[in-house]
Amino acid sequence: MGALEEAHLAAAAACGCDDDEEEDLVVLGDGGGEEEAGDAMEAAVRALLVGLGEDDRREGLRRTPKRVAKAFRDGTRGYKQKVKDIVQGALFPEVGVDKRTGSAGGTGGQVVVRDIDLFSYCESCLLPFSIQCHVGYVPSGGRVVGLSKLSRVADVFAKRFQNPQRLANEVCSALHASIQPAGVAVSLQCWHIPLPENLKCKSSQGLIRTSHSSRSGVFEGENSSFWNDFVALLKLRGIDMEMDSHSAIPPWCPLRPNEVPLCNGHGKRMTTNGAISPKSGSSPSNMVSAVSSMLLSLGEDPLRKELLGSPQRYVQWLMRFRACSLDVKLNGFTLNSASVYERPDVGATDHRAISSELHLPFCAQCEHHLLPFYGVVHIGYFGSEDGEGIDRSHFQALVHFYGCKLQVQERMTRQIAEAVYSVSHRGAIVVVEANHICMISRGIEKIRSSTATIAVLGHFLTDSSAKASFLQNIIDTADLEE
């Protein structure tokens, strides 16, 4: 227990000093006001945890209010940033192609930075969404801008509560005003996390995708050759803007299913109802007002048209991960800690065939940051002697049960494994692969990272070839799912 005790002592000794994510945070605003606002936000998050039926003093949740408050402040730092500060000082004189012979009196043509990965917050439900951004401009007046500034300016507007079209528009006009080029073109592809019940196990995981763009100056107009060149340069990277601009019918924010967002001027109302999760229902008003107060602390206006109802939707999302004291019954066995630990069947030296259910999709909520982590679960077990296995839908329900709460991936893996082991006394093995929004959209921002956990019980523990062949099976079937 050495390391953990040490850690606690040190943490107690350094009472205010927290886990080390300070380094990434930009210090904003005046110190005093920030402190108070921070405390108010943490109190609000604490209210949310209580509303979810959790014990906010347990170890995993103790610093969650601080982490969540910090994440929101960092994720909305764009409100305080000035485009002028970024662009100024990064303008360089560059001789253009002579106006008599070259294009558009600039330096010779457009400059396009493609595949800028960004994250923003959905103003409709307050969850992060991911963006692939492409920015082009035509230099004018003998000046070019430092390439990284295009990305930094996009980030100013991404780090706010946003919707995709407005983000594209704001980036476009800000760049046009600050660089004063002949024109600017912005293209975005955005992905929104779906409702947990709509997750698929394919690689795109059922994320809702939309495309948006915005143009100014020489990029505008029906048949702008600059715009056509811009589109062609994106195609070189496999970016097809036409793919889903008008064809996709799903609404942008799945928690707000009745409206398709304005997409380059087109809007559409839906008539389908939102999918109802078994846990959804009322959004407790104290939780909703806690979220509204968080918006105020961040400098937003909860009465702004687009934010009306967002606190409710955010709470609705959280409530799917409400703590619950239900037990799961599986094949007549009640699962709780006591009955899992019967002795494994020692006499079974022959392998019954290993049965498996692979690539079961799930979405859980990380208890440290109140952000989703989602992916797939693979389950291996021993079927009964007559070859019967357990229906996939039972496993899906099991996975769903353990996913729909504030979780930690290591714990969820163990819980599912113990549940399976209680009916598969020979052994059980569970592998979970997940993407953690808390590591992707903020903090270390490792966009490609993926976390895997394993729990191994019974025969799978003692017989490493059984375990190896299960893992190999996942590898072999992985291609099919891509």
Smallest distance, a copy of itself to C-beta of residue 41, A: 20
Smallest distance, a copy of itself to C-beta of residue 2, A: 6
Find the binding residues for a copy of itself in span 437-456 (CB under 8 A): 438-439, 443-456
- Helix ranges, 256-408 (H): 285-297, 310-319, 337-340, 392-403
Please give the Cα distance from 229 to 307 (Å, whole number). Answer: 37
Indicate the pairing of strand 354-366 with strand 406-407: parallel
Q: Phi/psi of residue 151, each to 5°?
A: -65, -40
Complex with a copy of itself: residue 30 or 59, whichever CB lies closer: 59
Smallest distance, a copy of itself to C-beta of residue 289, A: 30
Query: Identity (one letter) of the amino acid at 39?
Result: D
Please give the Cα distance from 170 to 190 (Å, whole number). Answer: 16
Would you count residue 108 as binding a copy of itself (CB under 8 A)?
yes
Complex with a copy of itself: residue 333 or 341, whichever CB lies closer: 341
Q: Which residues pair with 375 in a beta bridge?
A: 362, 434
Would you count residue 12 as binding a copy of itself (CB under 8 A)?
no
Find the binding residues for a copy of itself in span 362-421 (CB under 8 A): 368, 408-411, 413-414, 417-418, 421
Contact present, 226 and 245 (Cβ < 8 Å): no
Contacting a copy of itself (CB under 8 A), which of 148, 334, 336, 393?
Answer: 148
Smallest distance, a copy of itself to C-beta of residue 101, A: 6
According to DSSP, residue 462 is labeled H
Length of the chain (residues) = 482
Block residue for tokens 């008539």: 271
Complex with a copy of itself: residue 152 or 256, whichever CB lies closer: 152
Complex with a copy of itself: residue 43 or 461, whichever CB lies closer: 461
Complex with a copy of itself: residue 75 or 96, whichever CB lies closer: 96
383 C-beta neighbours (distance < 10 Å), count = 16
Cβ-Cβ contacts under 8 Å for 472 (sequence gap 6 or more)? none
Site string for a copy of itself, 173-212 (x = CB under 8 A): -----xxx--------------------------------
Would you count residue 113 as binding a copy of itself (CB under 8 A)?
yes
Please give the Cα distance from 201 to 440 (Å, whole number). Answer: 19
Would you count residue 112 as binding a copy of itself (CB under 8 A)?
yes
Per-residue CA distances from 232 to 123, 210, 238, 242, 245 (Å): 32, 19, 10, 12, 17
Per-residue CA distances from 31 to 35, 48, 67, 198, 307 (Å): 6, 26, 18, 43, 27
Please give the Cα distance from 428 to 356 (Å, whole number). Answer: 10
Contacting a copy of itself (CB under 8 A), which of 143, 209, 256, 322?
Answer: 143
Would you count residue 27 as binding a copy of itself (CB under 8 A)?
no
Find the binding residues for a copy of itself in span 245-304 (CB under 8 A): none
Size of the residue set binding a copy of itself (CB under 8 A): 109
Smallest distance, a copy of itself to C-beta of residue 398, A: 16
Smallest distance, a copy of itself to C-beta of residue 332, A: 21
Q: Is 413 exposed, middle or buried (0-12, 13-18, 19+ CB in 10 A)?
A: buried
Contact present, 372 and 193 (Cβ < 8 Å): yes
Contacting a copy of itself (CB under 8 A), which of 50, 207, 423, 461?
Answer: 461
Span of 96-104, 156-164, 204-212, 305-313 interacting with a copy of itself by CB under 8 A: 96-104
Q: How many CA within 13 A on the CB side of residue 130?
A: 23
Smallest distance, a copy of itself to C-beta of residue 345, A: 12
Smallest distance, a copy of itself to C-beta of residue 364, A: 13
Contacting a copy of itself (CB under 8 A), which of 221, 246, 341, 351?
Answer: 341
Would you count residue 339 as binding a copy of itself (CB under 8 A)?
no
CA 359 remoteness from chain centre: 20
Please give the Cα distance from 435 to 432 (Å, whole number). Answer: 10
Smallest distance, a copy of itself to C-beta of residue 191, A: 15
Would you count residue 60 as binding a copy of itself (CB under 8 A)?
yes
Q: Phi/psi of residue 118, each to 5°?
A: -135, 165
Find the binding residues for a copy of itself in span 213-242 (CB under 8 A): 225, 228-229, 232-233, 235-238
Smallest distance, a copy of itself to C-beta of residue 330, A: 18
Smallest distance, a copy of itself to C-beta of residue 256, A: 30
Query: Identity (one letter) of the amino acid at 330?
Result: L
